[in-house]
Amino acid sequence: MPRSTVPIPTRLLVLGMAHEDGTILAAEVYPVAEACAQSADQVRSCFRRLEAEGLFTREGGGRTAVYRATEQGMSAVGDNVERTRLAYAQDMAGRTWDRRWHLVAFGVPEARRAARDALRDRLLALGGAAIESGLYVSPHPWEKDVLSVAEHLDLVGQITVASTDDLDIGGERDPREIARKLWPIDDLAARYAAICEEYSPVIDLLEAMRSRHEKMPDTTFLPGALGMAVTFMDCFGDDPLLPPELLPRPWPGRTARQLILNCRRLAFGIRQTPGRPALFRVWDDALQALT
């Protein structure tokens, strides 16, 4: 895997080291950060921010410190795992949609603007789209998540949830056209296609190394794996993960996800350091559960 030229956010590296229970061991983070040209000061500063934001609590200090995720921290780590699981599950199933649209309407007074904005942000993070002010839609059954957010924000009395298999938006009833109208599908397709173009040659490189029985040192593996993750997650984070039935065929998002997975598996096989890496352990566990 070639050394990445993508700027690597320290925060992504640190969160990528989280265990399934949300624990991050400083002793595991520092060697990985060093291999990725991240300084100890950058790592310490990141840990301090995670504590200050209430995402993690710390036990001990220095390189032996243990950071445990709070409820809010588990949400930050777990959201990406669930999105990863959903994306690959949909890719494997091919057809997942029951043709029902799930709607959320809310009317929150200006006096509670901060809570209203937080609700909107969360609806968008869950893959929803605004039909108009105060009315959002998703093809996924998101009611449980929406009500949980509303309860946390003390907005349960201001929201209405509903579902329908007969949605008409501005005279458009075709589900694929509705999806194209509400979500930036063409832009996402172009971004995923660019990822495929950039990383397709990496597969040939890794396969050639495997055939020659070459091993890849961590000073190459870790920055390359993290750089690839940064590039992919920049696009994946904006993807509403619509069901395959609402997307163009073939969908480059599926191709990009499979490419990233194949690159990781090949790189793991020729990695000089034995054993599975701690980096993105939770992400790999999510995929392993599907296979």
Residue tagged 């039935």 (tokens): 245
How many residues are listed for the chain in this entry? 291
What per-residue confidence (pLDDT) applies to 64?
93
H/E stretch holding 129: strand 129-132
Q: Are 252 and 236 in contact (CB under 8 A)?
A: no
Pick the CATH number of 1-96+184-291 from 1.10.10.10, 1.20.1050.140, 3.30.420.40, 3.40.50.300: 1.10.10.10
286: phi then psi, degrees, rounded to nearest 5: -65, -40
The pTM (predicted TM-score) of the whole model is 0.82
Same fold? 1-96+184-291, 101-164: no
Cβ count near 234 (within 10 Å): 12
CATH class of domain segment(s) 101-164? alpha beta
Q: Of 89, 75, 130, which Cα lies nearest the Cα of 241?
A: 89
Domain boundaries, the chain: 1-96+184-291, 101-164
Q: Going residue by residue through the chain (291 aa), what tens digit of pLDDT does each one get?
A: 555 555 667 888 888 888 878 899 999 899 888 877 889 999 999 999 999 989 999 999 999 999 999 988 887 777 777 888 888 888 888 777 999 999 999 999 899 999 999 999 999 989 999 999 999 999 999 999 999 999 989 999 999 999 999 999 999 999 999 999 999 999 999 999 999 999 999 899 999 989 999 888 877 777 787 788 888 888 998 999 999 999 999 999 999 999 988 888 888 788 766 555 556 665 666 566 655
Q: Are 24 and 73 in contact (CB under 8 A)?
A: no
Q: Of 12, 2, 55, which Cα lies nearest the Cα of 33?
A: 12
- In whole angstroms, give the CA distance from residue 235 to residue 158: 33
